[in-house]
Amino acid sequence: MERQYLLGNEAIAHACLEAPVDFVSGYPGTPSSEVIDVLRSRQERAYYIEWSTNEKVALENALAAAWCGLRALCTMKHVGLNVAADPLMTSAYTGVTGGLVIMSADDPFAHSSQNEQDSRCYARFARVPCLDPATIQEAHDMVRDAFALSEEFSLPVIFRPTTRICHSKGDVALGPIVASQRKGEFKKDPRQYVVIPAHTRILHKKLNEKQPAIKKRLVELGYNTYSVRGKTAVIASGIAVTYVQELIPEGISFMKIGAYPIDESWLSGFVRQHDTVLVIEELAPEIEEQVLQVAGIVNVLGKKNGYVPYEGELSLSAVAAIMVKAGSIPAIPYPAVSPVQDLPLRPPILCAGCLHRAAFYAIKRVFKDAVYPSDIGCYTLGLQLGVVDTTICMGASITVSSGIAHSGEPRDIICTIGDSTFLHTGIQGLMNAVYNGADITVVILDNRITAMTGHQPNPNTGVTACGIASHPVSLDAVCRACGVTFVETVDPYDITGMMNVLKEAQSRKGVKVVIAKQQCVIMAKRGGVKRGRYMVDAEICTGCGTCVRYGCPAIEMAGEKARITDLCSGCAVCAQLCPTGAIVREGKK
């Protein structure tokens, strides 16, 4: 058995190789993305792998592979499961023959997400098993078991690690990589795979009949365990298990939940041996509600009576405070300390030389008093530049724009959406806006990659997940096919050029699309693009601050004058903005 220091997602990917997996699909989303990134970067691979255009597409592909008897993994983040919810619900009815594991990574505290929803609720909704790891080692072991469990019950299994599992690291014991021997074959069985009402009524009954055996099996698997040590008990799940284990004193019982659905009689047997039970879990009160159902007169402390928060991420100090409040530990083992107040924030920021900053600048200059709906991607950080008014979910910028336009809003409406997001679920909104006569401008921020989640290729990139060259989609042609007549592609580094096209768009009626196309600055750097660096001629600089207000992290004030640091990537936008012409290319003074 080999031990390696791995990221949770790397350990999860390795477990897929041990399973072994035959088919992998997904859509990038922090904190889930590295699983496919690790699997796709393997030189020798017997499995099929793809980045799909969205999570619904990914799940339907993986489901089909599992129908063919293969072991399929489908990865996404919690909000992606909403997009894939439609096939998820019915996949529980049709079931699978091969193993289907849906990894839906949750993000308590919304470190990089638009909400804090809990994928365990979807598992309960769909009536499929859900595995919820407490450590990286367990995440690794659970993936291996999830495939077997899926095949045992012919059901998709949701695997739900949280950010603190996906992006934490540890020494992990790994098993051997196994070569897959499976060949997929679709065996026709319309009563299983064609969900007309007559079939589906029977399938639903079958799904319900599977539940008791699943509950028993999950207890046997050892992911739900307990030890009785006194009349007070703490029940925890996910990463909170490790916090409780670090803090729990002698004489307090402990139950760990790692798998759902929970066997009620087993749970009841534990709960009823105690006077008080404290349930500590992140996000939804999944366990707490079950405990309440079996508790009888046992006092249950948790979210519903204010001991545990519904929102945010738990931590050692948060759990310590909860346990003290609930009377489960005598004193806070870790003294409370407060951070230094009122420091200037350092939020994530668009990179030096990012095309989005240039595009936002041009948008703001032309569409001065406008409404700016936006979307999910790096460019959501345009909020700091005052050019992002709304963000809901993938693809919602165009639909929100048309909704606002049809509501009689008198101002111009100009929205921004990235290339990957446009392909994910933006196209449908564009079709709808054109067909229903909305009056909006859409700027597709086309950096040819899914940058925010770690530079995964999409159908606009020109390579597949495996690095094989492929035919990139023509955004221009797609927009025209949707019925847009004004489609212009511009280079956002050319501020004047882009502003001219935006002015033209502003003067027209209907749906106008401007494709602001330039390579992601990180990809350009990796690709060896060298534009040279820019500098401020201190003799000419008047210190007016126009360049620092542009918000590029490569520009700062040094006393009364501006200065460009070595973060400069040479996009030259600041040189175009400087009113005195003080910014020049290094060595070309």
Partner 1 sequence: MKSSFDILMVGIGGQGTILASNIIGQACLLENRRVKGAETHGMAQRGGSVESHIRIDGKFGPLIAPGQADILLSFDLLEALRYSHYLKAGGTMVLNRHLVLPTSVYMQKIEAPTEEGIIAALGRFRLCILDADRIAQEAGSPLSQNVVMLGAASRMIPLKPESLLSAVKNLVPKKTIEINARAFEMGRESGSSC
> Which residues in this chain contact partner 1 in the complex, by CB under 8 A?
3-5, 30-31, 33, 111-112, 135-136, 164, 167-171, 239, 242-243, 245-247, 315-317, 320, 333-340, 343-352, 378, 381, 384, 451-454, 522, 545, 548-549, 551-553, 555-557
The residue (of 240 and 413) whose beta carbon lies closer to partner 1 is: 240
- Between CA 280 and CA 288 the distance in angstroms is 8
The residue (of 220 and 342) whose beta carbon lies closer to partner 1 is: 342
The residue (of 397 and 450) whose beta carbon lies closer to partner 1 is: 450
- Its sign, for the CA torsion 561, 562, 565, 568, is negative
Task: Provide the minimum distance between the beta carbon of 297 and partner 1 in the complex, in angstroms, as a whole number.
Answer: 33
The residue (of 136 and 366) whose beta carbon lies closer to partner 1 is: 136
The residue (of 52 and 569) whose beta carbon lies closer to partner 1 is: 569
- Between CA 270 and CA 276 the distance in angstroms is 11
Beta bridge partners of 3: 173
Task: Provide the minimum distance between the beta carbon of 434 and partner 1 in the complex, in angstroms, as a whole number.
Answer: 31
Task: Provide the minimum distance between the beta carbon of 134 and partner 1 in the complex, in angstroms, as a whole number.
Answer: 8
Task: Provide the minimum distance between the beta carbon of 33 and partner 1 in the complex, in angstroms, as a whole number.
Answer: 8
The residue (of 114 and 506) whose beta carbon lies closer to partner 1 is: 114
- Neighbouring residues of 44: CB distance < 8 A, sequence distance ≥ 6: none
User: Are 295 and 164 within 8 A, CB to CB?
Assistant: no
- Neighbouring residues of 547: CB distance < 8 A, sequence distance ≥ 6: 536, 555, 562, 574, 577, 578, 583
Task: Provide the minimum distance between the beta carbon of 84 and partner 1 in the complex, in angstroms, as a whole number.
Answer: 20
- Its sign, for the CA torsion 346, 348, 352, 354, is negative
User: Are 174 and 18 within 8 A, CB to CB?
Assistant: yes
The residue (of 21 and 562) whose beta carbon lies closer to partner 1 is: 562
Task: Provide the minimum distance between the beta carbon of 165 and partner 1 in the complex, in angstroms, as a whole number.
Answer: 9
- Between CA 566 and CA 475 the distance in angstroms is 34
Task: Provide the minimum distance between the beta carbon of 105 and partner 1 in the complex, in angstroms, as a whole number.
Answer: 11
User: Are 319 and 243 within 8 A, CB to CB?
Assistant: yes
Task: Provide the minimum distance between the beta carbon of 137 and partner 1 in the complex, in angstroms, as a whole number.
Answer: 10
Is the preceding peptide bond at 335 cis, omega within 30 degrees of 0? no
The residue (of 3 and 191) whose beta carbon lies closer to partner 1 is: 3
The stretches of 272-368 forming alpha helices (DSSP H) are: 286-294, 316-325, 355-366
At 378, is the secondary structure helix, strand, or coil?
A: helix
